[in-house]
Amino acid sequence: MQAGKNAAASMKETAGNIATSAKAGMDKTKATVQGKAEKTTSHDPLEKQMAEERKEEKITQAEINKLQAKEQNAAAKESARAGQTGTVTLHPTAALPGHGTGQPHGQVTSGVVGSHPTATNTGTGTTTARNPLAGGTDQTGYGTGGGHS
């Protein structure tokens, strides 16, 4: 049984390290792109130098964050190996509102199933799902063909 726990702990550490490295890579790329944009829009050599320094600082911070997360992953694996509980688990979505908390995000109305827009607020003031093609009084000629009421 202990071998299974060790394997699972190793797999969690590996998965955590992969996610950490991917995030660090994205952060470094973002810093590089932002640095280039700042340099392009700057006309003053001092501003260009400051943009370069900010970029390098962000890249360094991304690398530090990655190393710290890998250390936490290793510590979590060792805790699991020792049979301790309370291991550290990384939840990348926990920083998003309503994610990782077990609580719904936004208003909850009993008996109503809401849709979840992916990009923008449409400004309609409602998020309940509706299918305009499902029967009803649709006069466009486009419908489901059924006579559901």
* Tokens 């008996």, residue located: 111
Cα separations (Å) of 46 from 38, 39, 51, 52, 66? 12, 10, 9, 10, 30
> 43-94 pLDDT, tens per residue?
999 999 999 999 999 999 999 999 999 999 999 989 888 875 554 555 554 4
Check residues 63 and 118 and name the one with the higher pLDDT: 63
- Domain locations in the chain as residue ranges: 2-79
Q: What's the DSSP call for residue 132?
A: T
Q: Which two tokens stand for residue 76?
A: 């979590």
Residue 141 pLDDT > 50, yes or no?
yes
Q: Which two tokens stand for residue 68?
A: 């710290």
0.85 surpassed by pTM: no
Between CA 16 and CA 92 the distance in angstroms is 10
Residue 21 pLDDT > 90, yes or no?
yes
